[in-house]
Amino acid sequence: MKEYRRALSIAGSDPSGGAGLQADLKTFSALGVYGTTAVVALVDENTQGVYGIHPVPDSFVAGQIRSVLGDIGTDAVKIGMLHGSSLIRTVLNTLREFPDVRDIVLDPVMVATSGDPLLESDAIGTLRDELIPYARVITPNLPEASMLLGAAVDCQDELEDAARDLSAKYGDAKVSVMLKAGHLDDDTLTDIFYNAETGRLLRLTSPRVRTVNTHGTGCTMSSAIAAWLARGAELDTAVANAKEYVAAAISAGADYRIGKGHGPVNHFHALWSR
């Protein structure tokens, strides 16, 4: 029998379809991976903002993860928005029940594209100190990296040291860091990937596309890395391929109009256009 390559998204639901587990499932599908989900929260949001978060009970989140991994299994996991300390610990402890699942990509989501907070302030330490060391890769943007490091990261020249320093906080855990440069205003975006397993640093460059359609880019990047890991790619290759996919999705979606705020990227740009 044939077998699918599989990826599990543990994330919140975005009813507008541009971010959260909806973006993750689109990305998995676009990259040839069978996607599963564990829903951690129902988020009331659209392209203009976040208006409410309805948490799923921790025990029910744990049940979803066990149901998927105990039956279907997975080749990689993407973790997105986890709004509180209790939920973070629940996800971590449940994943520990499946020690063979180690290709874990964590997007340390703290603030939405619209600027709305998505993580309770007292949960930042739990995310930083307990869950991040269990991940293989984390994908912070500059504000998130600044919060995790406790120091501002706000110019291109600081990114390489910041990626190394953030990884170094976790020592023997070997947490690799994909530091995204999208918050800079340069015409060329150079993301920095520090591979903690090899000590190698990659500079991943793409032209900036001037568009408001950037809703869900962080979700898409992390789920694309997870998809390529699920397909068996080496870590550097998975990250480089994900960067290429996201850059193309932003470019292909730049001229569309969906909603009145930050629209989505075009996840299926390689499959159809209009």
Nearest to 219 by CA among 189, 249, 175: 249
Please check whether residue 104 is in contact with residue 220, taking contact to mean a CB–CB distance below 8 angstroms.
Answer: no
User: 36, 113, 214, 220: which is the annotated catalytic residue?
Assistant: 214
Q: From CA 86, how far away is CA 91, in angstroms rounded?
A: 9
User: 74, 217, 243, 263: which is the annotated catalytic residue?
Assistant: 217
Does the active-site annotation cover 18? Answer: no
User: 90, 180, 220, 243: which is the annotated catalytic residue?
Assistant: 180
**What length does the chain have?**
274
Q: From CA 69, how far away is CA 46, in angstroms rounded?
A: 31
Q: From CA 119, how far away is CA 83, in angstroms rounded?
A: 4
Does the active-site annotation cover 74? Answer: no
Q: Give the side-chain half-sphere CA count within 13 A for 40.
A: 24
User: 26, 219, 220, 263: which is the annotated catalytic residue?
Assistant: 219
Does the active-site annotation cover 155? Answer: no
Does the active-site annotation cover 2? Answer: no
Residue 244 sits at φ, ψ, to 5 deg, of -65, -40
Does the active-site annotation cover 78? Answer: no
User: 218, 243, 253, 263: which is the annotated catalytic residue?
Assistant: 218
User: 12, 216, 253, 263: which is the annotated catalytic residue?
Assistant: 216
Please check whether residue 74 is in contact with residue 100, taking contact to mean a CB–CB distance below 8 angstroms.
Answer: no
Does the active-site annotation cover 27? Answer: no
Q: Which residues are catalytic?
A: 180, 214, 216-219
